[in-house]
Amino acid sequence: MVRGLARRAGISIDENYRITCSSSSCTAGGTSQTAIANCAAVELPHHQSERKIVVKKQDLILAQLNSARAAFHTLLDSLSEQDFSKQSLNPGWTNGEIVAHMTFGFIIVNVLLPMARLWGRLPKGSSKWFAWLLNACTGPFNWVNALGARGQGRVFTHARIGKIYDRAYVALVKKVNSVRDKEWEHGMFYPTKWDSNFDEFMTLEKLFYYPVIHFNFHMKQISR
């Protein structure tokens, strides 16, 4: 559905949901959040009149989440229980701990969204002090994050993790569909020292892309 609507607007989305535009009014390309946002709406002449073809933000986000879900289950199916115990390409972490950490990236957005919506109703700079405070606690966070991944690796076993991931995915889909049009540009400041995949300020739209970016980043650390 997304590809068909996008194609009519001069936007091409391949099987990996990479976006390119054939319309002269759109200069975006690739899979970045900026490219996706720029491609969300373009105007094209149609016979003697003009019409606006809109690809909804929800549809683009859901397409990315769906693509990530397919990639996750392909990865999971390719790993045996023995593979889960192997050392990953991230020193000190096993493959299973990496997969658990990637899954947690989807879970955490479900947790962050109510707070992001709350801060989004306040003046834009109001959450800056909160991000500063979290950045100041980066040392303890890194310790807890590493310890948490090891704990997740024991709880999110090979047999369980697919169902855990799917529950987080379903919850995210519901939250994407609950966002009102006027909310998409609301957001808050984030602790960039905690994760290089965080932007200093992230809108709700960017927040929903975060688990996909986080997933793709750690996917490269799985050893074979």
Q: How confident is the model at residue 54 (pLDDT cuts 50, 70, 90)?
A: low
Whether 19 contacts 33, CB under 8 Å: no
pLDDT digits 0-9 by tens, 89-140: 998 899 999 999 999 999 999 998 999 999 888 888 889 998 899 889 887 7
Residue 36 has pLDDT above 60, yes or no: no
Is the entire prediction scored with pTM above 0.85? no
CA distances from 114 to 49, 93, 168, 199, 221 (A): 42, 31, 15, 18, 31
pLDDT for 53 equals 61
CA distances from 154 to 57, 98, 132, 183 (A): 36, 12, 32, 37
Least-confidence region, from 5-14, 47-56, 137-146: 5-14
Indicate the average pLDDT of the chain.
79
Highest mean pLDDT among 55-59, 137-141, 164-168: 164-168
Q: How confident is the model at residue 8 (pLDDT cuts 50, 70, 90)?
A: very low
pLDDT digits 0-9 by tens, 132-161: 998 898 877 777 776 666 677 677 888 899
pLDDT for 144 equals 73
Q: How confident is the model at residue 63 (pLDDT cuts 50, 70, 90)?
A: very high
Residue pointed to by tokens 């933000």: 57
Residue 172 has pLDDT above 70, yes or no: yes
Question: Side-chain half-sphere of 26: how many Cα atoms within 13 Å?
Answer: 26
H/E segment holding residue 140: helix 138-155
pLDDT for 74 equals 97
Residue 14 has pLDDT above 90, yes or no: no
pLDDT digits 0-9 by tens, 174-195: 999 999 999 999 999 998 888 8
**DSSP conformation letters of 100-135:** HHHHHHHHHHHHHHHHHHHHHTS-GGGGHHHHHHHH
